[in-house]
Structure 1
Amino acid sequence: MQLLGRLEIKSRQKIIDFLNEEHVGRIASIDKNGFPQVIPMNFVFANDAIYMHSHPRGEKIENIKQNSRVGFEVDRELEFLPSYFTHPTDASQADTLYISVVIKGTGVIISDNNEKAMALNALMEKYQPEGNYESLTAGMPVVEEVAVIKVVPHEMRGKYKVGQHMDKNARISLAENILRRNSDTARRTLKLMGFEVVENKVKMIEDPQW
């Protein structure tokens, strides 16, 4: 069955764009007892790597120093699809539309203050795009006082499920159900699915290809 292949994000740029639209990612490291530790973090993708700032002491820092193999994951739930969209009583028919990216890579605690300043400025540009702050430079004390974690991807894969695995009629039916249910995310989801809403009706305008 080719379903998984059809759900894979083929465009590296789409993956990067998605990463920098999302505000929370999860870094997974291995602790001293061999257990995975997963921590939610603010992050930015810059210069082909993930950067995060952190307190200079803590378990994840020690984990990375002892074992540089890490994972990183970001996801967005687009739309929950109630079971009654496809069957009046069968709960197993419930589903979710989503986007996700999973990275396997090497974790590094950055020691070079120029790279740290670059990463911290990239984080500020992402989370505070309106500005109103002084750009950081390598010589500022704050750059010394924080840790910057870098994840260099060895493998970066993304998946998206927006109805592209369905035939045209089934996709239109799904879009109509999403519009009818009218969740807070419905219209944004329909746009990602390749639909626009005209006079409260869905109209397919493109076949989304990622």
Structure 2
Amino acid sequence: MQLVKKFEIKSRDKIIHFLNNQHVGRVASIDREGYPQVIPMNFVWLDEAVYMHSHPAGEKIENMLRNPRVGFEADQHVCFLPSYFFHPTDASQADTLYISIVVKGRAELVENSEEKARALNALMMKYQKEGRYEALASNMYTVREVAVIKVIPKEMHGKYKIGQQWPAPYRLKMAEKIMEREGLESARHILKIMGIEFNKDVLEIANEPEM
């Protein structure tokens, strides 16, 4: 996979941190006719792999048993930048700020009950942070009956475009335009990702948006 170096996420720790904070990923398998099937899934990164739970029967399971080579992707849309931010009339200048992670690897069904329970508990900890549930045990019927898919990465790459390629004055200028279009409350989260803070009616570079 070829990436433009200035848009590549170089830190593996930051790739994993990003994955741990995304709620939806997409797993791609190959069907009987050779077409990719892409399915949105809840997931968790655990012990150097992506884990997902599933109904024990279905097309994606059949695909993975037949061909374990799969793709997995998670992304975050940060902000659409309309063309008029860059040119009065040229529609081709429109752009998007985003972060994305792409994994190529091998999928397998987890058979070990202890590993299944560990993965399911990790999913619960990720999605139900407030607790209020009993941890799942390996001998529970629900653990035995549900399918847990494990994707072991062969390659994992990250790409991001959040204004890091712009000089600081231009990034602040774009931040002003984003605030005008999105409104202050919506813009705060976008600006934080861009490494910009809005304090006392002043925009400031808080940190360089490097990943």
TM over 0.5: yes
Q: Which residue of 1 aligns with 2:86?
A: 86
| 2: CA distance, partners of 1:206 / 1:25 | 28
User: Is the 8 Å Cα contact of residues 76 and 100 (structure 1) preserved in structure 2?
Assistant: yes
Q: Which residue of 2 aligns with 1:195?
A: 196
| 1: CA distance, partners of 2:109 / 2:4 | 35
- Residue correspondences, number: 208
Q: Which residue of 2 aligns with 1:186?
A: 187
Q: Which residue of 2 aligns with 1:176?
A: 176
CA deviation after TM superposition for structure 1 residue 90, in Å: 1.3
The answer to whether 1:32 aligns with 2:47 is: no
CA deviation after TM superposition for structure 1 residue 200, in Å: 2.7
| 1: CA distance, partners of 2:206 / 2:56 | 49
Letter in 2 for 1:110: V
CA deviation after TM superposition for structure 1 residue 20, in Å: 1.1
Identity of aligned residues (%): 58
| 2: CA distance, partners of 1:209 / 1:35 | 36
Instruction: Give the alignment of 1:42-191 within 5 angstroms.
Output: 42-183=42-183, 185-191=186-192
Q: Deviations over 1:7-44 (max 9, x none)?
A: 11111111111111111100000111111100000000
| 1: CA distance, partners of 2:207 / 2:123 | 33
Structure 1, unaligned runs of 5 or more: none
Q: CA RMSD in A?
A: 1.2
User: Is the 8 Å Cα contact of residues 168 and 205 (structure 2) preserved in structure 1?
Assistant: no
Structure 1 segments of 4+ aligned residues over 2 angstroms from their partners: 182-185
| 2: CA distance, partners of 1:148 / 1:204 | 43
Query: Aligned with 1:101: secondary structure?
Result: strand
Task: Give TM-score scaled by structure 1 length.
Answer: 0.96
Task: Give TM-score scaled by structure 2 length.
Answer: 0.95
Q: Deviations over 1:118-145 (max 9, x none)?
A: 0000000000011111101110000111
CA deviation after TM superposition for structure 1 residue 182, in Å: 2.5
Query: Aligned with 1:131: secondary structure?
Result: coil
Query: Aligned with 1:71: secondary structure?
Result: strand
| 1: CA distance, partners of 2:84 / 2:50 | 40
Q: Deviations over 1:121-179 (max 9, x none)?
A: 00000000111111011100001110000000011100111111112222121111112
Q: Deviations over 1:73-129 (max 9, x none)?
A: 001100111111111211111110000000000000111111000000000000001
